[in-house]
Amino acid sequence: MTAMSTALLSESPWEGRVLLGDWVPAHGGTARVIEPATGSTLGSVGQATAEDVRIAAQTAAGAQRDWAAAPYVERAAVLRRAGDLWQRHSAEIARWLVREAGSVPAKAELEIAQAAQECYEASAVAAVPNGEVLPSQQPRLSFAQRMPVGVVGVIAPYNFPITLAIRAVAPALALGNAVILKPDPRTAVSGGVVLGMIFAAAGLPPGVLSVLPGDADTGIALVEDPDVPVIAFTGSTRAGRAVATAAARKLKRTHLELGGNSAFIVLEDADVEAAATAGAFGSWFHAGQICMAAGRHLVHRSISAQYTALLAAKAEKLRVGDPATDPVDLGPLIDARQRDAVHRFVSDTVAAGATLVTGGVHDGLFYRPTVLADVPPDSPAATSEIFGPVAPVLSYSTVDEAVAIARAGEYGLALGIVTRDVMRGLEIADRIPTGLVHINDQTVNDEAVVPFGGIGDSGTGTRHGGHRANIEAFTETRWTTLRSSPPTYPY
């Protein structure tokens, strides 16, 4: 993919501003955009407040009516043009992802390709039949119709700032809704400004998409706004509970994709080298800052030592550094707070009895890929989401023991199982409640066409991906009847 001669972000109507119909100053002033690898300032964005949310919601409610009334072919065309623009501007957008989010180039390219595909898939959902004729005991036409919900609030995190925004933004728009997007302030350009610029260039009418970077108070204002009936939130379980609580008070629907502590089970018959390669990617891709990351490597006791040694050897070969200037495998963690949290998990787990095999050190925000062996099942690294480049290895003796460990805790996002007997793997998977299962693969997998979501503390189930999930997420069902003339009633 090559970039256009005219850059998407070179002219800066967005600099220090928010998108409210047009790029305008925010009531909260401006915030710096920081490059985690160097600490340098890359630019500034507007800092939205509750007042900006109220203006955006009122604007969106008006704009949405005309957008929903537009022929589906027009909505589909906007989404297709947006998909083309992601590809045409891929090089420029990738540079922002590398510098602002700390992404290695391969991860940035993957994220942009998925954004384009999300738009293409959303363009198709605009034309999906949106109702059904129902039987009736009365002499009337009775049918159910899927209607746009109105205005959708999307709150997206920093780790995959484009993917985790566009997978809600694109289908919501395609189905006739307006969207207010609140990106994480740490990735407000790549996760917010870029989407605003892409859809404006694609011909989306003003006011249908607003982009409001801001803090937690801005997010709560979006959740509580009376003109925003549906919230799509991706983030931590702790923050998700706050969103769900605030939304419940307003009787709003929420689609929550939250944290995880996914098990990666290696059976005794596995190809150990292949399993270690997959496990390494599952724990260390994007420095482990992924909800689906392999949080627990459950390895049969007969091969545990071999697996751990292979994993450690891979960790020691990986390059950690600035992805904007060096050919590295892992970039920085997003900020010092996240680095300290990761290091605390490692230190506390070692104190609980685990063995630090390799890693456990950092230089600034650059954390070395880490392997922990002999991890107690009740230790911090085994029971919590780390969100950093740490691979805790737990040994087991029987399948029942592995299943018990994998089922422990409240998360239920992803599961990976490596075995030469795929039917046995599927039987084991059926005993472990999760939203996603991968036999003979690691836990980090996603596509625009698949249903995505977790259960338990990992979220409210499948709410993203695929036509069925998207229609359920961003429309309401309305029952309608028609008669040729009014009936006679005994009153």
What pLDDT score does 4 carry? 41
How many domains is the chain partitioned into structurally? Answer: 2
What ranges make up the beta strands (E) of 201-305?
209-211, 230-234, 253-257, 262-266, 294-300
Task: Give the helix/strand (H/E) hosting 370.
Answer: strand 370-373
- Report whether 458 contacts 237 (CB < 8 A): yes
In this structure, the answer to whether residues 195 and 46 fall within a common structural domain is yes
Per-residue pLDDT tens digits for 164-197 = 999 999 999 999 999 999 999 999 999 999 999 9
Mean per-residue pLDDT, 458-483: 90
Same domain membership, residue 189 and residue 290: no
Whether the pLDDT of residue 6 is over 80: the answer is: no
Q: Which residue has the tokens 């623009």?
A: 85
Residue 365 lies in a domain: yes
Pair (415, 310) in one structural domain: yes
Half-sphere CA count of 377, side-chain side, radius 13 A: 14
67 SS3 class? helix
Q: End-to-end alpha-carbon separation of the chain, Å?
A: 70
CB 383 within 8 A of CB 231: no
Residue 32 falls inside a structural domain: yes
Q: Report how far residue 177's alpha carbon sits from residue 147's, in angstroms, rounded to the nearest whole number.
A: 9
411-412 and 390-396 beta bridge pairing: unpaired
User: What pLDDT score does 3 carry?
Assistant: 39
Q: Per the domain annotation, does 83 fall within a domain?
A: yes
pLDDT, one tens digit per residue, over 216-273 is 999 999 999 999 999 999 999 999 999 999 999 999 999 999 999 999 999 999 999 9
pLDDT band at 408 (very low <50, low <70, confident <90, very high): very high
> Cα 330 to chain center, whole Å?
19
Catalytic residue (choose from 15, 257, 273, 410): 257
In this structure, what DSSP letter does residue 26 have?
A: -
**Residue in this structure with the two tokens 């949310």, named with its chain if needed:** 53
219: burial class by Cβ within 10 Å (0-12, 13-18, 19+)? buried
Pairing relation of β-strands 41-46 and 230-234?
A: unpaired
Q: Is the confidence at residue 1, as pLDDT, over 60?
A: no
Q: Is 435 inside any structural domain?
A: yes
Q: Is residue 11 part of a domain?
A: no
Q: Do residues 290 and 178 both lie within one domain?
A: no
**Res 256: pLDDT:** 95
Q: What is the mean pLDDT of the chain?
A: 96
Does one domain contain both 231 and 268?
A: no
Under the banding of pLDDT at 50, 70 and 90, the label for residue 2 is very low
Judge if 201 and 115 occupy the same domain: yes
The reply to whether 271 and 286 lie within a common domain is yes
Q: Are 32 and 44 in contact (CB under 8 A)?
A: yes
**Whether residue 199 sits in one domain with residue 330:** no
Whether pLDDT at 355 is above 80? yes
Asked whether the predicted pLDDT for residue 463 surpasses 80, the reply is no
User: pLDDT at position 5, please?
Assistant: 44
How high is the pLDDT of residue 11?
Answer: 66
Other beta carbons within 10 Å of 143: 15
Mean pLDDT calculated for residue range 360-384: 97
> Which CATH number fits the domain that encloses residue 404?
3.40.309.10
Same domain for 213 and 92: yes
Whether residue 10 is predicted with pLDDT greater than 90 in this model: the reply is no
Q: What is the band of 80 on the pLDDT scale with cuts at 50, 70, 90?
A: very high
**Residue 329 burial (CB count, 10 A):** 20
Q: Is residue 454 part of a domain?
A: no
**Tokens found for residue 339:** 């680095």
Q: Is residue 26 predicted with pLDDT exceeding 90?
A: yes
Full residue range of the structural domain in which residue 397 is found: 262-439
Catalytic residue among 273, 291, 447, 476: 291
Distance CA 387, CA 86 (A): 28
How many of the other CB atoms lie within 10 Å of CB of 337?
9
CA-CA-CA-CA dihedral for 464, 470, 473, 476, to nearest 10: 180
Say if 449 falls within a structural domain.
no
In a domain, 488, yes or no: no
State how far Cα 213 lies from the chain centre: 17
User: Which residue bears the tokens 């609140």?
Assistant: 182
> CB neighbours of 392 closer than 8 A, spacing ≥ 6?
295, 296, 297, 349, 354, 372, 375, 379, 381, 382, 386
Active-site residue, 291 included:
yes
Residue 471 and residue 356 in one domain: no
CATH number of the domain to which 198 belongs: 3.40.605.10
Taking each helix axis from N to C end, the angle separating 72-88 and 105-125, rounded to the nearest 10 degrees, works out to 170
Q: Is 127 helix (H, G, I), strand (E, B) or coil?
A: coil
The DSSP output letter for 205 is P
Residues 371 and 428 in one domain: yes
The verdict on 126 and 101 lying in the same domain is: yes
Q: What is the pLDDT of residue 289?
A: 98
Q: What is the pLDDT of residues 96-131, one digit of tens each?
A: 999 999 999 999 999 999 999 999 999 999 999 889
Q: Please name the helix (run of DSSP H) or strand (run of DSSP E) that holds residue 81, with its range, or none.
A: helix 72-88
